[in-house]
Amino acid sequence: MRGLLRALAVLATLSLALVAAAPAGATNECDGLMVCVPVAGPWVVVPTDGGVPREHVEYHLRCPRNHVVGGLDAELSRRAIDIAFLGRLGSPVNPGISTSRSVVFVASFVGVSAPSATVRPHVGCIPASGGGGRVPTSFTAFQPGEPTARRVREVRVRPGSTTVVQGCRANERLVDGAHAFGFYTRRAPDAGLVRSVSGTRVLRDGRVRVTARGDAELGGVRAVVQVQAVCSRVR
């Protein structure tokens, strides 16, 4: 009996040690996936203007080649951040049908006010196994597909001003554009660092043109601007 109690005490001690050793901010993008490659994005700046309609930010995160998105998670610097992702229609809802090699996160701030707000997206990537297509059920209607594609460019922001231009391919036309600023830091950037970057976006002549500006406060911090061109593939 004493031996059993001693063994139980040892197991309890080991369990407490394991709990203490687990990282406090661990994310769950790979939970339940047998084979998974975790990919983390930067801390993406979320607008906090609080207007109506509320402003949002879109960030495009990609898996390695021959992988599809199998899980998602995010870290928030503030609770009042509403975050979702753009998924494709289909049944059943699963990797390879609802998701592809990349995913677009959409985040907005829904609080009253804040000096800054950031979100770091995470995806769990699984080997692509290939998904079957769906058979059309009617000749008078179209099944939901992928009429648009996102052409993405991401460059580093340094002190000073730089212009980033992204367009569509020859057989596509521009229908929308987006840009986002991000910081590759271990912790969420403070308000001063968030304010050290700014930019303006213009859609003109079939291209998205973003002028990004960085203050001297950037220093050695790796800050990036991601420019997205949303392109129609349907004529």
Structure tokens given for 86: 């753009």
The yes-or-no verdict on residue 203 having pLDDT over 90 is: yes
Residue pointed to by tokens 């930010």:
57
CATH of the domain at 111: 2.60.120
Mean of pLDDT over the chain: 85
pTM beyond cutoff 0.75: yes
Q: Same structural domain for residues 170 and 213? A: yes
Q: Same structural domain for residues 120 and 156? A: no
196 within 8 A of 219, measured Cβ to Cβ: no
Q: Same structural domain for residues 193 and 107? A: no
- What are the angstrom distances between the C-alpha of 55 and each of 145, 178, 186, 195? 27, 12, 26, 17
In a domain, 215, yes or no: yes
pLDDT tens-place string over residues 172-201? 999 999 999 999 999 999 999 999 999 999
Calculate the CA 103 to chain-centre distance: 7
In a domain, 36, yes or no: yes
In a domain, 18, yes or no: no
In a domain, 195, yes or no: yes
The residue segments making up the domain with residue 60 are 25-130
Residue 219's pLDDT is 83
Q: Same structural domain for residues 154 and 80? A: no
In a domain, 220, yes or no: yes
Looking at the structure of the chain, the number of domains it has is 2
For the chain, the helix, strand and coil percentages under 3-state DSSP, each to the nearest 5: 10, 45, 45
Closest CA to 118 of 46, 26, 59: 46
Q: Same structural domain for residues 54 and 105? A: yes
Q: Same structural domain for residues 193 and 120? A: no
